[in-house]
Amino acid sequence: MTGVGPLRAATVAAVDSPKSDAPRSRKGARTRARLVDAAKEIFEQHGFLDARISDIAERAGLSHGSFYHYFDSKEEIFYEVAAALDDELSAPLSTVIRAPSPTATPEERIREGIRRYLENYRHEARLMGVIEQVSRYDDHVNAMRHARYRENDTQVADSIRQLQERGRADPTLDADIAASALGAMTLRFAEMWLVQGYVECTDNDAVEQLTKIFVNTLQLRDKPHD
């Protein structure tokens, strides 16, 4: 593997490493990104416990010793992979649902945001299964993910309050509780469907049903209620 993959291309810009001796050159940033992309593939194939640093280095086209020039441990590079994936899955929240649009209704934004979220989740389902497993016993991963959930819930709650103020959502709803409940539902549904295989449905049905749950819960209206 010689290029910089899509998951961690942003690492090229994020040159600052947890290791104090990590190179700050553009070449060093590209090498670090190669390691992160290689680690993603190895974790997908072997899981976290069976993944080896030597396999990651080999996949990245580097020596075993070169790995420790950028990361202290397998855990550290896993944290970076997990954080990058959380960024990817959270992207539709800001790029679709909360992005200003002169024409899209709240329901249309929710539908498109859910569609993109599930598409991204499906693409990374195998790695998401690994992250879900690790988060159950690794305090760092668990805390990192909870911090992201809180951030997302806060943004969604703010959006719900804005809809309530404009008379387009149920004013009796507690925005914070509704945001947490709807977010947890979406995350858990994606895991049960795309990782565990407990749910059988088409992509379109999943998007439409989740959208309907959001719309019904918030009692969304295209126009303000008097």
**What are the sequence ranges of the domains in the chain?**
9-72, 75-218
Q: Assess if CATH 3.40.50.2000 describes domain 9-72.
A: no
The C-alpha atoms of residue 34 and residue 9 are separated, in whole angstroms, by 9
| CA 127 from centroid of its chain's CA atoms | 11
Residue 56 contacts residue 37 (beta carbons within 8 Å)? no
**pTM score:** 0.82
Residue 35 contacts residue 62 (beta carbons within 8 Å)? yes
- Determine whether 205 is exposed, middle or buried from the number of CB atoms within 10 Å of its CB (0-12, 13-18, 19+): exposed
pLDDT in tens, 90-120: 888 878 877 776 688 889 999 999 999 999 9
| Helix spans in 47-174 (H) | 53-59, 64-67, 74-92, 106-123, 125-135, 139-165
What's the confidence (pLDDT) of residue 224?
67
Fold agreement (9-72, 75-218): no
DSSP for 206-226, written as a single string? HHHHHHHHHHHHHT--SS---
Output the CATH code of domain 75-218: 1.10.357.10
Residue 117 contacts residue 186 (beta carbons within 8 Å)? yes
In the chain, what percentage of residues exceed pLDDT 90?
74
Average pLDDT score, the chain: 87
Residue 163's pLDDT band (cuts 50, 70, 90): very high
Residue 164 contacts residue 171 (beta carbons within 8 Å)? yes
